[in-house]
Amino acid sequence: MIAETKETILIVDDVAENLHVLSELLMPTYRVLAATSGVNALRVAESAPKPDLILLDVMMPEVDGYSVLSKLQQNSATADIPVIFVTALSESDDEELGLRLGAVDYIAKPIKPAVVLARVRTHLDLKRAREWLKNENDLLEAEVAKRMAENDLTQQVSIRALAHLAEIRDPETGNHLRRTQNYVHLLASGLKDHPQYKELMTDRYIDLLARSAPLHDIGKVGIPDYILLKPGKLTEEEFTIMKTHAKLGSDAIQKAEDEMSMPLPFLLVAKEISRWHHEKWDGSGYPDGLAGQKIPLSARIMALADVYDALTSVRPYKAAMSGEVARDIIVAGKGKHFDPELVDVFLENLDGFVAIGKRFADADTNAA
């Protein structure tokens, strides 16, 4: 049978007789350490085994008990050790001062053995309870963090799987999802210091934007193959059907959102992106003909990222344009197709766009 480890008590007093009396009283039940000065007390308190409780005299030369308590509390290694003042200062004002400074209790000299033992036992019980509660909280926090990480991974996998449904039906897009996701993140990050958007553009919101971006074309799963896979230019009637993918996507996300017991921010952002990423700044886009600031920022960001990728990627009906040509087209669309401020951010981060395009290039891309 394993013997139970005794709890450790540090007694601090500059009078040897006081140390002896308290040691004799406590040693049958506890492991006792002793220090005859404040300096020694601080050294012992940091050493192993760390005390579970400190009985601290107030009136000591050089470093008094109040100073010792203050230094203990300032040190993260000793701040959680409960301290009981044991002192001849018996006025109520002295007791109030000691408790106000952070002592857990106050015992007046001459000591009463029964009182000392009772107070020591009580505060050790409280310390054990606090430690148990902290351990339980730590375990709970670890479990919550684990579940959140699992949920986060599940969410990302689910988004990616849904996005690939559209990509599988439209295999020409290759690494389109990865590129546009990174373009969105780059544009959003460029707005962090913009006076109008810096409160919105938190790291959390930027993550939501990038995470939701792959769902922008989820509605394409509802477009017939003869239109979606047509190698040439669409007829006016076919293009009218193709344009319905924006509403189809947002409607599908809305249905998923309606079935949730609580709102999920990424679904709201995904719905905005899916429905309105083909809107144009001048109001000539679809499906709702929104203009300017009425187009959600998330969709305005997605619009620029999506067009840049379409311009610089190979399609059955066209070769990939160079980064310079794509840049000029986007600049020409400033204030017409695109949010002017986003075009400025795009130009400031053009090298980043080029780098992302190269990193996730399709095998047949011939962009410069």
148, pLDDT greater than 50: yes
What pLDDT sits at residue 152? 67
128, pLDDT greater than 60: yes
Mean pLDDT of 193-215: 89
pLDDT (tens digit per residue) in 332-346: 999 999 999 999 999
Mean pLDDT of 162-171: 64
User: Of how many residues is the chain composed?
Assistant: 368
Rounded to two decimals, the pTM is 0.61
Query: 104 with 98: CB under 8 angstroms?
Result: no
Percent of the chain with pLDDT over 70: 89
What pLDDT sits at residue 137? 84
- pLDDT grade for 366, boundaries at 50, 70 and 90: very low
- pLDDT grade for 167, boundaries at 50, 70 and 90: low
What phi and psi, each to the nearest 5 degrees, are found at residue 118?
-65, -45
pLDDT (tens digit per residue) in 34-79: 999 999 999 999 998 899 999 999 888 888 889 999 999 999 999 9
pLDDT (tens digit per residue) in 258-310: 877 667 777 889 899 999 999 999 999 999 999 999 999 999 999 999 999 99
Domains of the chain: 8-139 (3.40.50.2300), 170-359 (1.10.3210.10)
Computed over every residue of the chain, the mean pLDDT equals: 87
